[in-house]
Amino acid sequence: MVTLEIAKLHARIDGNDEDPLLELLLQGAIAHCREYLNTPLFASEQEKGEQDGVILNADIQTAILLVFSWRYAHREDQNGVPVAAHKLLDKYRKHAGL
């Protein structure tokens, strides 16, 4: 999965004072992307095995980083996410009934 260190680099956040908040935002971003995909998300082929789901790839990691950065920058308004994040996830998304 995306680490807090990578997320902070992406958002250009220095220092460790906000790490507890940032960890919550990162977990929320991962959860949002997982829910949007509507299928289990796995870190590797070994973890996935024969199960249905998608393996974390560069597109999904980038989407997570976009959601994380957006939520950090817009902490007072958690009602939306960047359209670009969903565009990156759309090709991996499993739609209900399919």
pLDDT of residue 98: 54
In a domain, 41, yes or no: yes
Residues 58 and 51: their CA atoms lie apart, in Å, by 20
Low-confidence ranges of the chain (pLDDT < 50): none
pLDDT of residue 62: 98
In a domain, 98, yes or no: no
Q: What CATH number corresponds to the domain at position 64?
A: 1.10.3230.30
pLDDT of residue 77: 77
The answer to whether the CB of 41 falls within 8 A of the CB of 33 is yes
pLDDT of residue 97: 63
- Give the residue numbers spanning the domain of 40: 4-90
Residues 87 and 23: their CA atoms lie apart, in Å, by 24
In a domain, 29, yes or no: yes
Per residue in 11-38, pLDDT (tens digit) is 999 999 999 999 999 999 999 999 999 9
As for how many domains the chain has, the answer is 1
In a domain, 44, yes or no: yes
pLDDT of residue 58: 97
